Amino acid sequence: MGHAQHAHSAEVQPRDPAKVKQILKVTIILAILTAIEFILAFTVGRGYLLTTVFVLLTFVKTFYIVGEFMHLKYETKILIWAIILPTLFIMWLILAMLIESNHMFEAIKSIFG
Amino acid sequence: MATAVINENENKALWAGGAEPLKASYGKLMMWFFLLSDALTFSGLLVTYGFARYAHKAYTGTVQDFIPSIEYWPIPEKIFTHIPFFHIDAPLVFVGLMTFILILSSVTMVLAVEAGHRNDKKDVQKWMLWTVLGGIAFLSCQAWEWMIFITGSTDGLIVNDPDGTVRHIFGANLIHNEYGPRLFADLFFFITGFHGTHVLSGVIINIIVFYNVAVGTYERLGSYEMVEKVGLYWHFIDLVWVFVFTFYYLV
């Protein structure tokens, strides 16, 4: 590192209140969504409806974490698609395997009783 | 960051090297693609969980009357009911707290990245330290959660095997599980363990970056992009926990 020490350092810029406000906004949204999930877990009966709501809320949280915190929303279009397209295939894999497991359960039941 | 100005008619040069067509540095892009591959790994684990869950019998009675049995998949809110220091029934409260700690440490990481954009060494240092502390707090919570899960309840579970032997099981490990089918415990250890390993490596990397910030390495380089890169990793860990929280504890 020895010689690099004399490289000029960039100047410190003041805080941008709008940016900090945006971060706080996302934080509050994430906290509220988690609280809603928490309350739903105890008040609504389990079933496909509740599971769907949970999955949707998780996706909303994902949107905020990846879009705002990881800054993907503000990257170039190609980069956004390079990340999102493979993720869509992963989601399809998950869905296909879940459907398959139901058939597995039926098959195991009919073969082994 | 290199700001190559490129004309419309010079578009060919955009992909010919020397420019950043995606307007992100090599390191940042590779972090994104690493995270994509890591997402595949975690999806594999979650698929396995879903597969095992639906390949087992579901519990059909009411939530209030739930009793653990190796016959059917348990209801998580009836299993994870412990909080430290108080001997009360507090379903999912502790894991909710863990989720909150991790989200908060993600927020402090965003603030560190934001301070890095402003070349504000003092602020980066402060927020990186908070992020490291959040990660350590999360790991401590997880260690406690594992301990409770492994120790088990005071009564345990009596299992009558088909061959006539009677087993009295306390807690869970990779072979016996007092809370439900064997796979439930196996996947608990594997999924939360694999995530915990990510958190541990994240904390170690954050400490290294914190050290580099403190001794002024990035100040001399004139760019705090490394904070941004480890930030991406840290947010991804937070994101994975959001999914684990939903699919392992809530559903």
The pLDDT score that the predictor gives to residue B10 is 58
Closest residue of chain B to A106, computed from CA coordinates: B55
Nearest to B210 by CA among B99, B105, B138, B100: B105
In A, residues 26-55, which contact B (CB 8 Å cutoff)? 27, 30-31, 34, 37-38, 41-42, 46, 50-51, 54-55
Quick check: A4 pLDDT over 60? no
Instruction: Look at B119 and A11 and tell me if their CB atoms are within 8 Å.
Output: yes
Q: Name the CATH topology of B25-250.
A: Four Helix Bundle (Hemerythrin (Met), subunit A) (1.20.120)
Coil, helix or strand for B33? helix
pLDDT the model gives residue B9: 56
Q: pTM, whole model, 2 decimals? A: 0.88
Task: Give pLDDT tens digits for A32-46.
Answer: 999 999 889 888 877
First to last CA, chain B: 44
- Of B149 and B90, the structure prediction assigns the larger pLDDT to B149
Question: In degrees, to the nearest 5, what angle opens at C-alpha A28 toward C-alphas A75 and B123?
Answer: 65
> Is the pLDDT assigned to residue B4 strictly greater than 70?
no
CA distance B219 to chain A (A): 6
pLDDT at residue A7 greater than cutoff 50: no
d(CA B104, CA B131): 8
Higher pLDDT, residue A13 or A113: A13
Q: Dihedral of the CA atoms B243, B246, B247, B249 (nearest 10)?
A: 130
Query: Do A34 and B103 count as a contact with CB atoms less than 8 A apart?
Result: yes
Instruction: Report residue B67's pLDDT band, with 50, 70 and 90 as the boundaries.
Output: confident
What pLDDT is attached to residue B145?
94
Q: What is the mean pLDDT of residues A84-109?
A: 88
Q: Is there a contact between B64 and A42 (Cβ–Cβ < 8 Å)?
A: no
pLDDT of residue A9: 56
Interface size between A and B, measured as CB pairs under 8 A: 145
pLDDT at B5: 58
User: What is the distance, to the nearest Å, from the Cα of residue B36 to the centroid of all Cα atoms in its chain?
Assistant: 15
pLDDT band at B2 (very low <50, low <70, confident <90, very high): low
Closest partner residue to B77 among A41, A66, A86, by Cβ? A41
User: Is B139:B196 a contact under the CB 8 Å cutoff?
Assistant: yes
pLDDT interval class at A99 (50, 70, 90): confident
DSSP string, chain A: -GGGGGSPPPPPPPP-HHHHHHHHHHHHHHHHHHHHHHHHHHHS--SHHHHHHHHHHHHHHHHHIIIIIS-GGGS-HHHHHHHHHHHHHHHHHHHHHHHHHHHHHHHHHHHH-
DSSP for B82-103, please give it: -BTTB-S--TTHHHHHHHHHHH
* Structural contact between residues B90 and B83, judged by C-beta atoms closer than 8 angstroms: yes
Give residue-wise pLDDT tens across range B162-220. 888 888 889 999 988 999 999 999 999 999 999 999 999 999 999 999 999 999 999 99
Chain B environment of A67 (Cβ under 8 Å): none
Q: Is residue A2 very low, low, confident or very high in pLDDT (cuts 50, 70, 90)?
A: very low
Please state the ipTM of this predicted complex: 0.85
Tell me: pLDDT of B104 over 70. Answer: yes
- The average confidence (pLDDT) of chain B is 89
Tell me, what's the pLDDT at B154? 81
Residue A98 in this model has a pLDDT that exceeds 80: yes
Tokens standing for B31?
């972090």
Asked if B96 and A38 count as a contact pair (C-beta separation under 8 A), the reply is yes
Sorted by sequence, the CB contacts under 8 Å of residue B55 that are 6+ apart come out as: A101, A104, A105, A108
Work out the end-to-end distance of chain A between its first and last CA atoms, rounded to an integer number of angstroms: 70
For range A100-111, the mean pLDDT? 85
B6 pLDDT band, cuts 50/70/90, is: low
* B76 pLDDT more than 60: yes
Whole-angstrom distance, CA of residue B155 vs CA of residue B143: 22
Question: What are the structure tokens assigned to A74, written together?
Answer: 């503000």
Do B118 and A13 form a contact (C-beta atoms < 8 A)? yes
Please give the helix or strand (H or E) that residue B28 lies within, else none. Answer: helix B26-54
Residue pLDDT, tens place only, B204-249: 999 999 999 999 999 999 999 999 999 999 999 999 999 999 988 8
